[in-house]
Amino acid sequence: MGLPRGPQSEIPKHPPFADSTLDTVPAPLPRPRVFAWVPIRSLSERHRPRILAHLLALDMNDRYLRFGYAAADDQIRRYVERIAFERDEIFGIFNRRLDLIALAHLAYDPSVDVEPQRASAAEFGVSVNVRGRGRGLGARLFDHAVLRARNRGVDTIVIHALSENAAMLRIVRNAGAVIERTGVDAEAHLRLPPDDHASRRAGALEQQLGELDYRFKQGARTDDPQAS
């Protein structure tokens, strides 16, 4: 693959803001799905510490599933330091305490903005903290990535996962991706339709609601100087 190995290696039936229970109550099995629309916020340079905290909280098995190897703390630190916010998109889901409970990295082929007419791809990587799993957050982040990539003119999303990663493969299979397995590794490709008026409107709306929700939670936490 010509793509950087960034992400892997080194909608509303209910009102928004309905995610306040995401990490407050340990859910029994089977865990309830989040059927309400969940706001997603785009992250920037200043969120590096929260991104790092989220990734460092993953145990070794999750790090293996996320990066394709059991990344040590220093390797995760370097990965976070090198995230190219000017090119890639990082977005996440926050709980009401503004902990980053789910994180996605959409790494763009560098040619995307330079040669908009050329076929291009983006690579998707994701992690959801243990308490948030099984509630549709991973799938929600993937759908959001599809929308963002479409609106940026990308025609294929690529996902590297381990063949054992049933949840990740389920997410991409549900979205219609073609999955190729080679031993322990699996590579999935999802072809995207071109952007249109509806996708651009949906993208803008998601962006605004994600930001609004974050400001709302921030307002409820005026005691927290870190909440920016």
Preceding amide of 32 cis, omega within 30 = no
Pull the structure tokens for residue 156.
């294929």
Write each residue from 165 to 194 as x if it is in contact with ligand COA (CB under 6 A), else as -, in one continuous string: xxxx-xx--x--------------------
Rounded to an integer, what distance in angstroms lies between the CA atom of residue 203 and that of residue 197? 10
Q: Give the nearer residue to ligand COA in terms of CB position, either 65 or 76.
A: 65
Residue 198 CB neighbour total at 10 angstroms: 8
Q: Which residues pair with 191 in a beta bridge?
A: 156
Shortest spacing between CB 124 and ligand COA, in angstroms: 7
Write each residue from 49 to 88 as x if it is in contact with ligand COA (CB under 6 A), else as -, in one continuous string: -------------x--xx----------------------
Q: Give the nearer residue to ligand COA in terms of CB position, either 154 or 162.
A: 162
Q: Classify residue 14 as exposed, middle or buried by CB count within 10 Å of its CB (0-12, 13-18, 19+).
A: exposed
When asked if residue 136 is in the footprint of ligand COA (CB under 6 A), the reply is: yes
Residues of the shown chain interacting with ligand COA in the complex, contacts defined by CB under 6 A: 8, 62, 65-66, 125-128, 133-139, 161, 165-168, 170-171, 174
